[in-house]
Amino acid sequence: MALDEGPPQLPEIAAVGELLWDILPAGPRLGGAPANFIVFCARLGNRASLITSVGTDEFGRMAVDQLAQPGLDLRLVEQTAEHPTGTVDVSFSAANQPSYTIREGVAWDFITLTPAILNKAARVDAVCYGTLGQRDPVSRATVRRFVEATRAECVRVCDVNIRMPYCDAEVLRWSMQQATIIKISDEELPVVFHLLGIAKAPEKPGEAAQALAALFPGCSLVAMTLGAKGSLLAGREGTVTHPGFRIAPVDTVGAGDAFTAGLLHAYLRCQRQGSDGLSPANVLKMAEVGNLCGSFVASQPAATPPLSPELIQRIADLLRADDPAIS
């Protein structure tokens, strides 16, 4: 497996959870929110590691080959002969609305906790996890041990990513309680508040984000994607909105994962400023970088397209604008 960890001063980010193939009418496409997210993290110039499991089947071999790239450590991608690589059957209605059948009992349901995984947890600067990757008790235990084994200063990103019926109140509450950053879409809000036992959720996105932040005091930032309307970030000093960028959408699959990667990329660099790391100006910067990444992916015909040199330079310039040490 390819490995280029990059200079040690760069942030080290891990993602733990599902890796799967979407079986589309046009053919299979590699995906899974943690996998998409960590690919973007590597392409943005971070040291990145993926913790998941694939089968020893053709889909598993194809996944490892496709993921191999500079900056992305795949040594913690387990390969098992006992379970097939995860797949999702995608079909479309007459109105072109997709429906999904997520296969159960697949490799990413059985990510095994190892000393190497725990060793990685003790070193990372950030980790991203979600609820779908915890649907089976085996992987749930591994995700939780990993997250709980990270250092106190590690940034824990909970990408809620609800896929019913694979999320319940206990999984959701644990996941959000651990988080430094909670990432959620406005479409997920009703389900999230229902699972949390809140009968009447705030109708306005800003109020809803602030309500989530109040429920989970360990959370520093609630990041909410608003589709074509951009994003909203609620921090301790208030709420910041960003209108997004006008694009001609081609394929929105993976755009939310790119947003999360861009947001975290900016967060880790702004964090170097100490007490000013979550100032409204920096939070707005995080939203802009996240939206830049998300809109770029939505304008491309693939879930994890190579990032253009222009985009990478634009992000670097934006983060360097107020602090020459940030890159």
Instruction: Please determine, for residue 5, whether its predicted confidence score (pLDDT) is greater than 90.
Output: no
List the structure tokens of 245.
């960028």
Whole-number Å distance between alpha carbons of 102 and 177? 26
Q: Which amino acid is at 115?
A: P
Residue length, the chain?
A: 327
SS3 39: helix
Q: What is the pLDDT of residue 160?
A: 95
- How confident is residue 2, by pLDDT bands cut at 50, 70 and 90? very low
Which residue from 145, 127, 133 is spatially nearest to 108, judged by alpha carbons? 133
Question: Considering the entire predicted model, what is its pTM?
Answer: 0.92
Reported as a single tens digit per residue, the pLDDT across 31-76 is 999 999 999 999 999 999 999 999 999 999 999 999 999 999 999 9
- Pairwise CA distance, residues 189 & 47, whole Å: 32
Neighbours of 137 (CB within 10 A): 10
Per the prediction, the chain carries an average pLDDT of 91
| Residue 15 · residue 37 · CB < 8 Å | yes
**pLDDT tens-digit readout, 223-243:** 999 988 999 999 888 899 999
Residue-range domains of the chain with CATH: 11-126+147-153 (3.40.1190.20), 180-327 (3.40.1190.20)
> Do the Cβ atoms of 244 and 214 come closer than 8 Å?
no
- Summarize pLDDT for 297-319 with one digit per residue, the tens: 999 888 888 999 999 999 999 99
Question: Taking 80 as the threshold, does the pLDDT of residue 6 lie above it?
Answer: no
- What stretch of H or E contains 86? strand 86-92
Q: Which of 247, 238, 317 lies closest to 285, judged by CA?
A: 317
Q: What pairing do the DSSP bridges indicate for beta strands 238-242 and 231-235?
A: antiparallel
CA angle (226 as vertex; 50, 271 as ends), nearest 5: 55
Which amino acid, residue 146? F
Cα distances from 109 to residues 32, 43, 77, 253, 290, in angstroms, run 13, 27, 13, 22, 29
User: What Å distances lie between residue 130 and 127, 137, 319, CA to CA?
Assistant: 10, 14, 27
**What mean pLDDT is predicted for residues 7-34?**
90
What is the per-residue pLDDT for 4?
A: 44
Residue 183 and residue 192: Cα distance in Å, rounded? 12
CA R_g for the chain: 18
Q: ∠162-304-175 over CA atoms, to 5°?
A: 25
- The whole-angstrom separation of Cα 33 and Cα 55 is 18
Residue 87 CA from chain centroid, whole number:
19
For 95, residues 6+ apart whose C-beta sits below 8 A from its C-beta are none
Q: Determine the pLDDT at residue 302.
A: 81
- 81-114 pLDDT tens trace: 999 999 999 877 776 666 789 999 999 999 999 9
Range from 7-11, 113-117, 285-289 carrying the lowest mean pLDDT: 7-11
Residues 1-28 as b or e (16 or more Cβ within 10 Å = b) = eeeeebeeebbbbbbbbbbbbbbeeeeb
Structure confidence at residue 176 (pLDDT): 98
Separation of alpha carbons 220 and 200, rounded Å? 24
